[in-house]
Amino acid sequence: PQLSVRKAGTAQRVVVDLSAPNLAKEMHVGHLRSTIIGDGVANVLEFLGDTVIRQNHVGDWGTQFGMLLAYLQEKPATSDELSDLENFYRAAKQRFDESEEFAERARGLVVKLQAGDAECLTLWTRFKDISLSHCQQTYERLNVKLTPADVMGESAYNDDLANVVNDLKATGLLVESNGAQCVFLEEFRTADDTPLPV
């Protein structure tokens, strides 16, 4: 009944983590590769009788949202302008790269966002929803079985961060780098052999 394919052993519950785009930016080929391969693996496992939980851990927290918030303060945008989030992001990124004052303001807005500032959260939700809508359109075009219910963003872990940061400080692993709290592990290095923050 299954094209002569038989499941070895008993059916299992399997989590497949796929796609994982950074919101507020267009998906790139790396995300598409993960999306297609992950969906293919999930489909095969389902065909073999496993229960598959698809998870899409999106990058919905961080500097890119600070840039968008700061740019929106400078250049209020209409809903139509925000619907083209990629162009809005490019303009914000250009300001971030060209102006240290803008970059500092953007980093400050990330801190406010992560601290739960109501205005920042409202705008962040708007950016996030627009971006997820674009991602969902791509999934539907590709016939990928990802839904909004499968999304788990980095922001979901925000409430747990204070305890993690305190634990890392207590062990002496946490250092400040460019205004961010980072852990540098020797085994993670960039192409030019400098430690990569994790």
- Would you give the end-to-end CA distance of the chain in angstroms? 47
pLDDT one-digit tens code per residue, 169-184: 999 999 998 878 899 9
In which order are the strands placed within the sheet that holds 180-189? 174-177, 180-189, 195-197
Q: Locate 190 and state its tokens.
A: 């960039």
Distance between CA atoms of 37 and 83, rounded to whole angstroms?
28
Residues recognised as catalytic:
25, 28, 31
Q: Where are the domains of the chain?
A: 63-130
Ranges of residues in the chain with a pLDDT under 70 are 1-7
pLDDT score recorded for residue 4: 67
